[in-house]
Amino acid sequence: MGLFTSEMADIPLTKVQVSAKIIHFVADVEVQLSYLNDFGEPIEAVFKFEHLNAALSNFEVEVKGKKHVGICKEKNEALQDYDDAIASGKGAYMIEDVRYGQFMVSVGNLPPDSECRLSFRYVVALTVEEDLIKFSLPITSTPIHKIDNTSYGVSILVDVLTHTEIEKISCSHPVDIKKEGNKALVACKSLLRKEFDLSVHIQDLHEPVHFVELFSKGEASEEAPFYIPAIPASSPIDKAESVPPASLITFIPKIQTEDEIYSEIIFLVDRSGSMAGAKMNQAKNALQLFLRSLPQNSLLNIVSFGSTYSSLWKQSLTLTSETLEQATQHVAEMKADMGGTELLAPIKNILNQFRIFKEKDFETYQNFPKQIFCLTDGEVSNTNEILSYLKRNIGDARLFTFGIGAEASKELVSGMAKFGKGKAEYVKTSERIESKVIKQLRKALLPILKNIKVNWNGLESAEFSTITKHYPPIFDGERILIFCNLSEDENVEGKQITITGTTGKQIHEWQLPRSDKHVIQGTTIHRLSAMSYILELQRNAKKNKEKIVQLGTDWGLVTKYTSYIAIEDRDIATYASMKTINIQQV
């Protein structure tokens, strides 16, 4: 994470301090970043902080040893306060939502020769890769500067709690690990110039686990203490006499079924000039085998790209004998005659079409989970831009990749599969491709759980029971996260929570009792649960704006319509013109 001038001279980052508490598949994280304005004039700095599946829940600023507490407000009101403060010569600091999981931080009127400490707190749903719980920190773009030959350095503390014994913890950075049973403490004091990745391996990820969190403002971790509160003092929740419990159900379902597995599959084929000859022939052979191996009644389309892109059909069609013949003929006539390699535009178009379909008709959308197969030699000039876009926008889809030729870019091909939640395969020019096509198809056509419903059997808070939850299709190996604000009714004896989903005609069911086996105290699950309701309300954001603002300000959450603003009153107003800092995205 870094701040840069328009001439790319960076504002010194002097200290990074992170405290985090992992609770199974979720985490509560606090990041403190200290910067020094050494420009000799006031500055206005703007940068973006990105963390997918995160909900930001508190923000404070400290300038010259004086703390300025953020207040969560309706977004337009916060923007007006920010502009008014700058115009009045005051300091102003603001965090707003750019999109879910991406936040823009504005530091206005920071005096010269001043050190500014930004502290923000967020909760995040963690990803699972190959039965490993993954925790990442995107805070590594800028080196730590020394002030007066003293480096304040880095401190990262991660407190881990799971429902069963931790088998192994691995990390991308040098760390000290203290592990005992289902708890661990991870400490890092040297930040390398790459993303901080922590992997936690435990058993029984495939069995449903039900956590119940009793609301408590006290911090859950003494090992990794937090500097700022989880919920701001200005929040109504902070002053409430009692807050109902919140619930989290997590697991990775193991699904066995005789049902045919239907998907919407888009073949994205590189037909640039560099694919001429043997590479194009391999791609065509792979496509023909794919087409003959797909289940009948799947949806499919073929998108070719080079300098431009084009689709076989305007929209995906059902696989029948007639459409199979059309697709087969189309592949047979393919040539590497489309010029350069512009891959980003067709990816954007495909994912945008998925998003529009989901918003328009979710019930139909979820019956055909979305999968993309990209065949390319990987000769592009904007790899980082493509990977960054996929990381932010893959959504519920998956992307599988084939790198064709010995020179295929592993950074692009493997990176697309990683951020596309798929797998990558490579095939050399002289190598037979059949076995690798079948291998990819088997992965893509494993059972997919759809039409997921949860019956809380009266356990859900009446205030939230009218908000319908939509759960995306769950591919094999993916985790389910189910949040709920519970009622305060203490009569829960014998009540069961029922989760159902389908793979086709077959209905799969899991039942969990409302038990006290995994009861914790804190606010992590409460904040993520509140955000899960906000995301549902944002499906019809204009209609639900008032409810979104209410929930956002109640829980101190940055949303589409709520932002944090902190104002610094000054004895002497700062009216000098400010140096503007370019955005640096993390």
From edge to edge, which strands make up the β-sheet containing 43-50? 71-74, 562-568, 91-99, 102-110, 43-50, 579-580
Distance of CA 433 to the CA centre of its chain: 33
Q: How confident is the model at residue 384 (pLDDT cuts 50, 70, 90)?
A: confident
Instruction: Output the pLDDT for position 586.
Output: 36
With CA atoms as reference, report the closest residue to 405 among 306, 291, 274: 274
Least confident of 173-177, 288-292, 313-317, 486-490: 486-490
What is the Cα gyration radius of the chain?
Answer: 25
**Cα–Cα distance measured from residue 121 to residue 58, given in angstroms and rounded to the nearest whole number:** 5
**Residue 69 vs residues 29, 30, 216: alpha-carbon distances, Å:** 18, 15, 21
Written as six digits, the tokens of 405 are 């030729």
Tokens 């909760």, located at residue: 123
Q: What confidence category does residue 99 fall into, taking pLDDT thresholds of 50, 70 and 90?
A: confident
Give this prediction's pTM: 0.84
| Predicted pLDDT of residue 6 | 39
At 582 the pLDDT is 46
What pLDDT score was predicted for residue 319?
Answer: 94
* Residue 572 banded pLDDT, cuts 50, 70, 90: low
Q: Confidence band (pLDDT; 50, 70, 90) for 584?
A: very low
Q: What is the pLDDT of residue 178?
A: 94
Place of tokens 């069963």: 164
Q: How confident is the model at residue 7 (pLDDT cuts 50, 70, 90)?
A: very low
Structural contact between residues 48 and 103, judged by C-beta atoms closer than 8 angstroms: yes
Beta bridge partners of 54: 124
What integer pLDDT is reported at residue 506 of this predicted model?
93
Residue 188 CB neighbours (<10 A): 22
Residues, the chain: 586
Q: What is the residue type of 380?
A: V
pLDDT tens for each residue of 517-552? 788 889 999 999 999 999 999 988 899 999 999 999
Count of alpha carbons within 13 angstroms of residue 479, beta-carbon side: 25
DSSP β-bridge partners for residue 579: 43
Compute, in degrees rounded to 10, the torsion defined by CA atoms 40, 45, 51, 52: -170
Judge contact between 243 and 237, C-beta under 8 A. Answer: yes
CA 214 to chain centroid, in Å, comes to: 26
Contact partners, residue 378, CB within 8 Å, separation at least 6: 403, 407, 408, 409, 410, 412, 413
Whole-number pLDDT of residue 344: 95
Model pLDDT for residues 395-418, shown as the tens digit of each residue: 889 999 999 988 888 889 988 998
Interacting residues of 295 by C-beta distance below 8 A, sequence separation 6+? 260, 261, 262, 319, 445
Closest CA to 102 of 393, 317, 476: 393
Residues 6+ away with beta carbon under 8 Å from 72? 232, 234, 235, 552, 553, 556, 557, 558, 562, 563, 564
Q: Is the pLDDT of residue 220 over 60?
A: no
User: CB count, 10 Å around CB of 490?
Assistant: 6
pLDDT > 90? residue 585: no
pLDDT tens digits along 326-376: 999 999 999 999 999 899 999 999 999 999 998 888 888 888 999 999 999
Instruction: Please name the residue that has the structure tokens 């010029």.
Output: 339
pLDDT more than 90, % of the chain:
42
Q: Which domains does the chain carry?
A: 3-205+561-580 (2.60.40), 264-444 (3.40.50.410)
Whole-number pLDDT of residue 192: 63
Choice among 182-196, 235-249, 526-540 with the minimum mean pLDDT:
182-196
What pLDDT is recorded for position 512? 86
Q: For 10, how many CA atoms within 13 A lie in the half-sphere containing its CB?
A: 14
pLDDT confidence tier of residue 193, bands split at 50, 70 and 90: low
Q: Which of 3-7, 340-344, 355-359, 446-450 has the lowest mean pLDDT?
A: 3-7
Residue 449 pairs with which residues in a beta bridge?
Answer: 474
Q: Residue 583's pLDDT is what?
A: 37
Contacts of 256 (CB under 8 A, 6+ apart): 447
Q: Taking a C-beta distance cutoff of 8 angstroms, is the pair 112, 41 a contact?
A: yes
What pLDDT score was predicted for residue 109? 76
Calpha distance 450→437 (Å, rounded): 25
d(C-alpha 211, C-alpha 515), whole Å? 9
Q: Can you give the pLDDT at residue 139?
A: 63
pLDDT value, residue 252: 87
pLDDT at position 444, please? 85
DSSP 8-state class, residue 154? E
Q: How far, in Å, are 96, 296, 393, 448 from residue 299 at the CA level?
A: 39, 9, 21, 15
Distances in Å between the Cα of 266 and the Cα atoms of 24, 46, 80, 317, 394 are 34, 38, 45, 10, 14
- Cα angle, residue 472 at apex, residues 375 and 237 outer, rounded to 5°: 130
* Residue 473: closest CA among 505, 507, 448, 492: 448
- How many helices (H) and strands (E) would you count in the chain? 11, 34
Better-predicted residue by pLDDT, 1 or 552: 552
More confident residue, 217 or 560: 560
Distance CA(449)–CA(474), nearest Å, equals 5
Q: What's the mean per-residue pLDDT of the chain?
A: 85
pLDDT of residue 5: 42
Closest CA to 380 of 342, 427, 336: 342
